[in-house]
Structure 1
């Protein structure tokens, strides 16, 4: 169980300041019971420093830069530090932190259009933390043909630690007789020197109906960066686990992964578009 003492409005995440954080272990309270615990002296704070923050990009108001504590057994978790969008912020050290526990840094930034963004997730065990954000996609860098299984061009990122590209297509015109969304991950090693990729038509093998003509498709193309090997795919975790908090077990102390996202929309059969 994590106990925090905070100052600020819980409905306004950017105003929150954690004054004390302490984890309680082996607490067993039966129905209608109680337990008395005296909090220890608050521990100090550490600094998160963010480099390469692009001009004109800001965190959404509902997802501030933040550090979350998670216990080894995942039964105690909660925010221990919140930023406001600047180049640094502090997080409170958790009293009672022990081996197997970890801190998890989450950074989300987007431009005014909402079509270009950066996501960053990093696990660590304490101390000051410095991160370097990947650069966002250049304007209109990605070309998408207007088909149900489109060709995508412009995959020419040369950034350090580029590991893969992720392609996500979502039909905003819900049709119960066709597929709703398609997600594909292509590694840098698999693409080689190719700068184009075509979403494969696997409808014959996976027994789905492709997006019909006239469908409005929300497309998202992400460059995936990590200094570590990707642990993604069958039998491993997915990017949805990491960035969607679907599985807290995927958020390990050695996690270090970032996405540069280009988004936009097109109509199936309506011709190509460029994003972001």
Structure 2
């Protein structure tokens, strides 16, 4: 039987008796443990990124499924891929138990349905190159477990991001990414260290994937959407640096060709 670390008592007690400085200092002490815990999961994250890159080249997609905080973090990561890397919103997709309403408000019992995740996934006409990543701090969320099980039965590659090593999600997914961050500062409040670790892992997965499929040049976001003045200015400076031209010429090239990558190729 695995130990449910996410429910173990906090390392700190009598929190209501602490002054503000002490509360924040002790929270920070706990938060500093998160990156080290994520580092231990890098071998499993590597397996997932390499498998994703291979499938993406054949038209595959990345799906995140989760409930509550975990689901919201998946939706957040997916929503940032189009503006950051210029990918269609149909390539990285976040699905949350209870639908988009649950992004802002809790939807009662949505996470308890073991069949709904597969119904939600099927709305996207899945194929064999797609990858489904379940996110659940506890590793026991029925919505996520059901979705992972059904995805595996239908031949899709699956991964699970959890904070309880040996949990059902860790064991059932093809690639288990278990990040043991220890007890939460407030006992059981997995929106804290567990959620922070999930955000770090999701950043790693999607960013490394975008780099491997050619959406980054050097260290620049050369395919970002030019959707506001800040991004146009950033893109212009990337072109200036890449082509050794002045601001005006770089901006003109950028606006003509629509992306940093295209502007750099046209200017060479």
TM-score, length basis structure 2: 0.24
Please state which structure has a larger fraction of its residues in strand: 1
TM-score, length basis structure 1: 0.24
Please state which structure has a larger fraction of its residues in helix: 2
